[in-house]
Every structure is written in structure tokens, then in C-alpha cells.
Structure 1
């Protein structure tokens, strides 16, 4: 008879029980457990033990197999080499799938704030419906899709600050032989979202979680700029680093401040990519160089003064909007 039960086993059972509910797939509970285990530990609290990482890997792959993007990629690969009718059918099915889950990214917080302060209309965020061309290129081949359509697809992400017009010029130069040819095979390789997760070591999964949770923090700080959060040199420096990378639209697409387990799994898979790991390291270095995020210049009250200034700004903005509504 065992008189003593390993405390880790007891803690693990308690965590799993907290996330399991009748009729709920256990894989969703495992993902919530993994996310919780990576969170910050408050003084006096005991860190949540890690779930079995093999179960985490299985859960992430399961989620990815059910995503709209994976279903579209499977359709695109199935349409390859079948003929023009298959390509038309791909676009038709893709249009229906994307219509069921329309997505528009957030507008640049700096532009949103400027518009609100000037009493102008808030700009729209990027529209990702053109990404269907990128999916088609992965399955049918870039030549079948064409440079103009691909330019629209790449431009939707605004990666590195490049617009659809910028991409059209670059891809046009390639088509005319004025620039080196593009290895479109890399596009097919990067489209394999399941393989990297299946091959990821336990250490890589843990690192991806670290990157994801860290980028969520940095994304939140950037996004709050639209809500009149007081600006400080440290916050401005972080935004500048993200702007230099041209990655805010992509972060906006990947990161959620209150993710569901499924969204967490999708973002975790993305954060296995070196591009996101590198951005995270850049921002961590910037934060270490200037950690005074909530210190307004000349205000010795520190974070308290910061929050008081923010609350006052929000109150003033609310009052101004109400006055405008009364006048109208």
C-alpha cells in the first residue's frame, strides 16, 4: 500500500480536472493545461506542473488538421495537375470556407489613435480574403496563379511594410527576367504546418510557448497605444522595433490576448518558426535596455502616475465623445 502520493501527480490531476468538462475533448484540456503551465507564478504560488509533452504535440496536430487553412491546403494539393475545372472548383470551395469565417485584421494602433484624436473615421484593417491566391499557388503552382494575384495575397499581410503594389513590381521584374528567379518550392515547404510540430522536440515546444506568451505581451503593449495609453520612451522604443521588422500585421493575425485552446495551438505552431523567435529575442533585448515601460518622463510617481494619466485620458475622451453625440 502506498502511503505517500507524489505531489506532482496530485497537482497534475487537479489541473487536468479543472480543464476537463463532460463532453469536452481531452486534447483541448491538455492545451489549456500547457498554456497555464507556462504562465507567470505569483509569490507564494506553486508552479503548475507540465503536462506530458507528447500529449501536447498530439493535441496541436489534431487542432491544425481541423483548421480552415489546412483544409484549403489539402484541397489545393488535390487540385494540382487535374485541370482548369479543378482549379475553378478550388476557388469556389475556398470562397465558401473563407466566407464562413471572415477575418479582417486590426488597423495600425498608431493610425487609430491619430484618427480618434482628430475626430476622424478609424481606418479599416487589412482584408485577408486575397490570401486564397497564396493557397492556390501552394497547390497549383505559382505560375498558374500569376504574379498579380500573388502580389495581392502577399500584400494582405503587409509583411516588412510592403504593399500589394510593391510586391507586384518585384514579381513583375521576376517574370520579365529583370530579377533573379524565385524558388517557389520554398512556398510548398513552408506550407507544411504539421511536419514541424510532429518533428519538434520537447525543448522546442517549450521554447515556442515562451515565444508565444512573450509576443502576446509585446503585442498587447503595442495594441493598447490605440486606447490612449500614455506613451513613454520605453514603449515607443518597443513599437519602433516591431515597426522595423514590419511584423505588426502578422502578429495581429497570429496573436490573441484571450485565446481559445484552438487558437493557442495554431499560434504555438507558428511560433516554432525562427522569424518569430528572432522577433521575440529582439524585443526582450530592447526591454532589457529600457525597462521603464510605465515611467513617464519627469513623473516620480512611476506606474501609479502612469495609470492615473491613462485613466484621465480615457475619461476625457469619453466626455468628448458624449458631448459630440449631444450636439448632434
Structure 2
């Protein structure tokens, strides 16, 4: 479609997007329309014998805005839809109006697509197919490779912060225990009984935050007792029947919206938690959030949510946030976040503006970055 055949309403829309520093094209607008994501313009009669003209709806402008922000060269439209879904309902970057909701069927299709191609889902399926030691060894090797690429090597943010501030030591980010725990959790969901020890099970569960407040030694003992009693096999059979893709295919709008709320709480708190390790000026509000995350054993899950909230990886985050246990955990984090929100980005005794706070953070970074 050339500029000459672009309707006046599309020309106006493209100009508005350009004014917001969003570059797109008439061809891309049409692609979004064919996918059912962008409404077509309404027609307005010009009077007897004068035909009609297209009319730009302000709601269409906001949809095009979020699509332009979530799109990228060569990016699958389903990834764009997931990123849009995670922004929906929040204030828009330009207008501050709430970002509109995408069509739910497009969201559900995108979620199923993303989960099917998820490396974690593929690893679980690989574990379920493993029939001998060679295939089991291949599973562990593949899982280690994936997690080494996808999981940041920063360890607990408090340790990272200490390393950055201590001039006497070289900065060597500590290993992250959750990586091996995730491998064990994947193995537990797929490999035959006996491949994962009670100790490894306990570490995997406590690191994942699936059973907050549980003592690792007690979990390991319960696992081994269930193995001796013969009840473990039944429990694992039930867990292995869970199919994240099948669940996504039938999830309701209300349930997925609840999972998104949970993911947002985890993502915000995880960002605060993670950025402490990168010298974000500390405040009582941040301290309260970090303390509750550590108390609940949610460090790994919160950081994952923070790093994935507007990417294709958001599908994995939405998948585990569909589970009721994470909803209960997010409620506890939300209580702390609400109580301390005024103090999250304000230092004690100082009427900080956002600009002052950012200036203090940027001033703390150069020396550590240079090191």
C-alpha cells in the first residue's frame, strides 16, 4: 500500500504515531487489521451524493500505539499480542489512558503457541520420553545448556550489591542455586521414580517457592517417607498429568486476568528485589519487599517474572501464575507493596522526586561499572 492509496484516517493515524516517536507504516496497519488486532475505521456519510469518508476513533489510536510499542522487525504477531496483554489496563506511555485489552481469543492462541515452543515445556516432555541412562544424561545436559543461557548468574541481589560496593574484591557473581533446582524439578516431573533424591526435591521446591515456609529437611524427609510408603508414585503421577498447554487452551478470560495480576505483582517486587543488587538507592519500602520475598522463598520466581513480564517468556510466567499457590503468595506481596508503596522510591527524611532518586542511582553506578 502506497502513501497515495492510504486513507485520510490512516494518514492521520500514522502522523499521530510519528508524533509519539513510533515509526510504522500503512502496510503494517493493514497487517494488524487482517490479524483482527486493529479495528477498521468507521465510515461517515458526507451527505447526499458525496459518498463517505473514514473516521479515526481515539480508541483505535491507543490500540495502534501499543501494537507499535510491542512490535519489532521479524517479531511474530503472537509475541506482540502477549506483550500487549501484559501492558493492558496500565497507563499508556504517551496518553496515560489505560492501554486497551487485546481480543481474548488472540491472547489465548498466543499463550498456547508460546507454551508449545517454550524450552521448559520441551524439556519436561523430553524428560517424560527418557527411557534409558543415555537419554537421561542428554536431558540433564540440554537442561543445563538452556538454563545457563536463560538464567542470570547474579545470585542473591544482596551478595551482588556487596560485591559491587567492596573495592577490595574482584566482582565474581556467585552461582545461582535455582539453576540446578530447576533441572531437578524438570527431572522430577518426567523421569522415572528414584532419579531425583529427597534432598534434591526439597531444594527444588524451596527454591521455586511452591511451598513457602517449608523447612528443606522436613520436605526431604517427607519425600523419602512417601517413597518408602509407596504414595510418592501416585502423587507424581497426578503432577505429571498436568498439561500446561491443555490448561492454556481452555483458560477463561477472568482466570488469565487473575494470573496476569499475580505476574505483575511478582514482576514489580522482583524488579525491586533484583535492582537492589545493581545499587538502587535503598529505602524502607524496598527493605520490606525484599524481606517478604526472602521469607516466602520467592526470589527465583520474582526475578523470573521481572525479567519476562513483557516478553514471550511471559507465557511461562502466566503459566505458573495460574496456579492457586502463586495467587496466595502474590496476595501477601501485594499487602506489603501497598503498605509501603509511598516509601519504595523515597529515601528516609528526604522529599525525593523521581528525578532526584534516579540521579542518586546513576551517581552510584559509574564506579562499580568501571570496576
> TM-score scaled by structure 2?
0.69
| Aligned pairs (5 A) from 1:162-201 | 167-175=219-227, 182=232, 183-189=235-241, 191-201=242-252
Distance 1:211 1:220 in 2: 14
Q: Return structure 1 stretches of 4+ with deviation > 6 angstroms.
A: 161-166
Distance 1:309 1:19 in 2: 30
**How big is the shift at 1:249?**
1.8
Q: Which moved more, 1:48-57 or 1:155-164?
A: 155-164
Distance 1:149 1:284 in 2: 30
- Three-state SS of the structure 1 residue aligned to 2:177 is coil
CA contact (8 A) 2:264 2:309 kept: no
**How big is the shift at 1:202?**
0.8
Task: Provide structure 1 residue ranges, at least 5 long, that are not aligned to the other structure.
Answer: 80-85
Task: Provide structure 2 residue ranges, at least 5 long, that are not aligned to the other structure.
Answer: 1-41, 45-53
Match of residue 189, structure 2, among 100, 119, 138: 138
CA contact (8 A) 2:304 2:317 kept: no
Q: Does 2:334 align with 1:284?
A: yes
| Aligned pairs (5 A) from 1:84-233 | 86-103=131-148, 104-105=151-152, 106-118=154-166, 119-120=168-169, 121=171, 122-126=173-177, 128-129=179-180, 131-143=182-194, 145-151=196-202, 153-154=204-205, 157=208, 160=212, 167-175=219-227, 182=232, 183-189=235-241, 191-233=242-284
Distance 1:236 1:206 in 2: 29
Q: Which has the higher contact order (CA 8 A, sep 6+)?
A: 1
Distance 1:70 1:115, change over 3 A: same
Q: Does 2:323 align with 1:273?
A: yes
CA contact (8 A) 1:68 1:97 kept: no
Match of residue 304, structure 2, among 249, 253, 260: 253
Distance 1:213 1:87, change over 3 A: same
Between structure 1 and structure 2, the one with the greater Rg is 2
Distance 2:165 2:260 in 1: 37
- Three-state SS of the structure 2 residue aligned to 1:270 is helix
| Aligned pairs (5 A) from 1:6-155 | 7=57, 8-9=59-60, 11-12=62-63, 15-16=66-67, 24-41=75-92, 44-79=95-130, 86-103=131-148, 104-105=151-152, 106-118=154-166, 119-120=168-169, 121=171, 122-126=173-177, 128-129=179-180, 131-143=182-194, 145-151=196-202, 153-154=204-205
CA contact (8 A) 2:67 2:80 kept: yes
> TM-score scaled by structure 1?
0.77
Distance 1:155 1:284 in 2: 21
**How big is the shift at 1:53?**
0.6
CA deviation vs aligned residue, 1:182-237 (integer Å, no higher than 9, x gap) = 53344324x42123322321122222223223322211111121122222222211
Distance 2:209 2:325 in 1: 15
- Three-state SS of the structure 1 residue aligned to 2:190 is helix
Distance 1:87 1:131, change over 3 A: farther
CA deviation vs aligned residue, 1:112-161 (integer Å, no higher than 9, x gap) = 22233334454222252454443333234434544355356446647647
The root-mean-square deviation of aligned C-alpha atoms, in Å, is: 3.6
Distance 1:130 1:312 in 2: 36
Distance 1:173 1:111, change over 3 A: farther
